[in-house]
Amino acid sequence: MTWSRNAAVYAGLVVLAVVTLVPFGLGLLTSFTSARQFNTESPLSVPSPPTLANYLGLGDAGFGRAIVVTALVTAVILLGQLTFSVFAAYAFARMEFPGRDALFWVYVATLMVPATVTVVPLYLMFAEAGLRNTFWALVLPFMFGSPYAIFLLREYFRTIPTDLIRAARMDGASTLDVIVHVVLPASRPILVTLALITAVSQWNNFMWPLVITSGRTWQVLTVATAGLQSRYDAQWTLVMAATTVAIVPLIVLFVAFGRHIVGSIVVTGLK
């Protein structure tokens, strides 16, 4: 009975895994297929011969630069967001000042405002400031912390025993010392979680870079991939090569931090 039940569960899981993984497999296969073969044979046919032309063609489409720009944007936002969110969350969790809780809830309430609502005002602000199509336009809206990050960190910081912080204070630690020596080491799981969420979401960010940049100078990966589709040709073989390249860093992150990602689901309740 148990054996047959397990078999049914495994069969179900295998089917689900196939349904999830086959699109990735097809994408990978297509990325090694020549445009001619893709257009003249069934899209499911095996590449014969396999070609690297699509990957090499990405260079002509400005993909190398887009990878560097995306990596730089992600790194700056990641660093900025972690730093500023930690400071803000510590202030909201552990420091006493008038109106602290009211300010916190007003700030967190902005989580309810969809990002699309702020696109036009943000665009106008950056255009007026002469920052359209610049690196600053890509990073400034995201690098000073986010309501979600501050909320997540604040809740975690509040679970750190007050006695620990008091003890540090009695030893003469300043606020910065407390954050660096006590709070940060005690908050490693949530910091890794936040870093992963930030890195993945910024790596995949599409709408804001599409709106605020034009041309190749500050083109990010997602916009470059969408740009591969021309007016009369969808160029699927190139698009699949581009998406394969784009997900490699995310796969590396997953392999390196797999344990923490599972932990982060427990910490944040995210799925």
Partner 1 sequence: MTKPKFSTLFVGALALVMVVLLGAAVLLGGSTERAGKTVVTVRLWDEQVAAAYRQSFDAFSREHPDVEVRLNVVAYSSYFDTLRTDVAGGGADDVFWLSNAYFANYADNGRLLDVGKTLGQDAARAWDASVVRQFTRNGVLWGVPQLTDAGIAVYYNADLLDRAGVDPAELDDLRWSPDPAADTLRPLLARLTVDAAGNRADTPRFDPARTRQWGYNAANDLQGVYLNYVGSAGGEFQDGDRFAFDNPAAVQAFEYLVGLVNSDHVAPPASDTNGNGDFSRNQFLQGRMALFQSGTYNLAAIADQAPFRWGVAMLPTGPKGRVSVTNGIAAAGNAASPHPDAVRQVLDWMGSTRGNEFLGSGGAAIPAVTAAQPGYFAHWAARGVDVTPFFRVLDGPRIPAPGGPRFAAGYQALTPYFDEMFLGRRDVPGSLAAAQDAANAAADR
Question: Given the rule CB under 8 A, which residues bind partner 1?
Answer: 35-36, 39-42, 60-61, 65, 68-69, 72, 75-76, 79-80, 83, 123-124, 127, 132-135, 174, 176-177, 179-181, 210-211, 214-218, 223, 226-234
Q: Using the 8-state DSSP alphabet, how is residue 192 labeled?
A: H
Q: Which is nearer to partner 1, 99 or 215 (CB)?
A: 215
How close are the terminal C-alpha atoms of the chain, in Å? 32
**Rounded least distance, CB 175 to partner 1, Å:** 9
55 vs 135, beta carbon nearer partner 1: 135
Closest separation in Å from C-beta 231 to partner 1: 4
**Smaller CB distance to partner 1: residue 179 or 190?**
179
Amino acid (1-letter code) at residue 172 = G
Q: What would the DSSP string read from start to end of 74-129? A: HHHHHHHHHHHHHHHHHHHHH---TTHHHHHHHHHHGGGS-HHHHHHHHHHHHHHT
261 burial class (0-12, 13-18, 19+ CB within 10 angstroms)? Answer: middle
Least distance between partner 1 and beta carbon 93 (Å): 18
Q: At closest approach, how far in Å is the CB of 125 from partner 1?
A: 10
Q: At 13, which amino acid appears?
A: L
Which lies closer to partner 1 via its Cβ, residue 18 or residue 176?
176
For partner 1, the closer of residues 104 and 228 by Cβ is 228
- The 3-state DSSP class for residue 270 equals coil
Q: Closest Cα partner for 247 from 67, 17, 46?
A: 67
Least separation in angstroms between CB 17 and partner 1: 28
